[in-house]
Amino acid sequence: MNKYNQIYSDIVADIDNQRFAQGERIPSETELMSQYQASRGTVRKAVDMLQERGYVQKIHGKGVYVLKPGNIEFQLSGIVSFQEMNDRMGRQVVSQVAALEAVLADAALARQMGVAEATPLVKIKRVRNIDGENVIVDINHFVAELVPGLDAGVAAGSIYHYIEQQLGLTISYAQRIIEAQPCNEDDRQYLDLNGMDHVIVVKNLTHLYDGRLFEYTESRHRLDKFYFTDIARR
Amino acid sequence: MNKYNQIYSDIVADIDNQRFAQGERIPSETELMSQYQASRGTVRKAVDMLQERGYVQKIHGKGVYVLKPGNIEFQLSGIVSFQEMNDRMGRQVVSQVAALEAVLADAALARQMGVAEATPLVKIKRVRNIDGENVIVDINHFVAELVPGLDAGVAAGSIYHYIEQQLGLTISYAQRIIEAQPCNEDDRQYLDLNGMDHVIVVKNLTHLYDGRLFEYTESRHRLDKFYFTDIARR
DNA sequence: CAGAATTTGTACGTATGTATG
DNA sequence: TCATACATACGTACAAATTCT
């Protein structure tokens, strides 16, 4: 591992385990330099990462202060797969593959994804059951060319894990859109709506490290089960 | 202005004006160094900022590529005030101050804000009218001690502008929570709900540069007028 | 209040490693 | 194989904000 990543993850662990408590200062740059036998630039890079990800707040002339650690764990900043999120939150979750088919991008989808019409896609619908209720429908559209061997067996587990570990692709960024929509047929068919007539839709355009678009996903959440948090910086 | 900020904002302008088009490479680090007579570290800092904010994607060994510029303008990453956002989007917007009063934090509010019970607050309700319909209610709770002179006149304009320019405070980060809630009395009173029975609530805990909590805000959006986008990185 | 010490911010420079074409 | 371009890591100097003496 990198030196700055080592420093970063050590401090994250210290914060999560409350060895550095909320409101406390972490060691100064000088101290970290000698602890890790690292240069100032390397230490600063690690601390900058901590600040970007909401762990700390740097104050000129004073030091680096730990923010609330509790929030971090429930945070969705960064790209986190459904499985990773629920592992962290420890909920009773069952995913069921409702459909898996090869399709060609129609006009609307091609526009939204920024690919040519009739591009071969793998379309997967999965229903997420949390604590006994069907509350999320995920509809993935993968660019077929980029995900060979994506079958029902893989879809039943973590697709992201398959893509990164098995195929060796690097996922780098996603544009994310959150909005509300009236329920459609899929929602009524798959979700326990309890009379609610809207869902919250999270759209994800996920890209590989080299910039190629790799999937378009819609996550359709029942209103009362949707929760999103992050940290914004000015 | 800083050197790296200068480089950063020059390139942002070039991207926004399509002088660097989507998918194109921006000048390499070496070229930027000679253009700006800057060191490698300075140039890299500017480009890192571009990537953090979703303008570009760096690829090892190839170059730095411009992502879709159009999305950036409608982006809510970072802390953006209502007024700033609508200035950028060019919508017909009217804000009306529905209430402004001094209150003391009750138990629920004190817990949510992490302040002592009975802390003096300034509570402001504002209704946002977009294209002729009342679609958002903003309910701000400012820590009274930190915002002297915050009256109806100020509230009618941009409160953020007042706080940063007049009071000289630096806003640095906010924890943001997005969820859906059933409509409450405020929603029914102030919004044109058209029969919708839920709203999307954006909660903001905004902090100053020195880490002090400074306001808690609830923005209650009519479902069909809510839209949020950002870029997530893994 | 002045000055020293500490701490983060900006900027420069160099060397070497790794990925791409 | 070689050139180009980004990644990591080292080092230095001075500026600016805060705190301590």
User: Global pTM?
Assistant: 0.88
Pick the range with the lowest mean pLDDT from A8-17, A18-27, B64-73: B64-73
The pLDDT of residue B72 = 42
Helix (H) or strand (E) holding B108: helix B107-113
Whole-angstrom CA distances from B149 to A65, B83, B167, B170, B216 are 30, 20, 9, 17, 18
CA distance B187 to B98: 12
Question: What SS3 class is residue A121?
Answer: strand
pLDDT exceeds cutoff 50 at B232: yes
The pLDDT of residue A72 = 42
- Strand D lies under 7 A from the Cβ of residue A209: no
The pLDDT of residue B191 = 96
Closest-CA distance of chain B to residue A21, Å: 14
Picking from B52, B67, B200, the nearest residue to A180 by CB comes out as B200
pLDDT exceeds cutoff 90 at A234: no
CA distance A226 to A202: 10
pLDDT tens digits, one per residue of B123-177: 999 998 888 899 999 999 999 988 888 888 888 878 888 888 888 888 888 888 8
B22 CA to C11 C1', in Å? 31
pLDDT tens digits, one per residue of B46-98: 999 999 988 999 999 999 999 866 444 444 445 555 666 666 666 777 888 99
Contacts of A177 in chain B (CB under 8 A): 227-229
* Token digits of residue B50: 């571009």
Contacts of A175 in chain B (CB under 8 A): 54, 68, 71, 229-231
Which residues 114-143 of chain B have a CB within 8 Å of chain A?
Answer: 114
Kindly state the percentage of chain A with pLDDT values over 90.
53
pLDDT exceeds cutoff 70 at A58: yes
Kindly state the percentage of chain B with pLDDT values over 70.
90
CA distance B32 to B43: 7
Protein-covered nucleotides of chain D (CB closer than 7 Å) are 4-13, 16-19
Residues (19-78, chain A) with CB within 7 Å of strand D atoms = 37-42, 59-62
The pLDDT of residue B122 = 94
B57 CA to D5 C1', in Å? 14
Whole-angstrom CA distances from B165 to A137, A216, B24, B160, B161 are 46, 42, 38, 8, 6
Domains in chain A with CATH codes: 3-66 (1.10.10.10), 82-221 (3.40.1410.10)
Mean pLDDT estimate for chain A: 87
CA distance A200 to B181: 12
Average pLDDT over residues A179-201: 95
pLDDT tens digits, one per residue of A72-90: 444 444 555 566 666 666 6
Q: What is the DSSP letter of B55?
A: S
Which residue does chain A place closest to B67, by CA atoms? A211
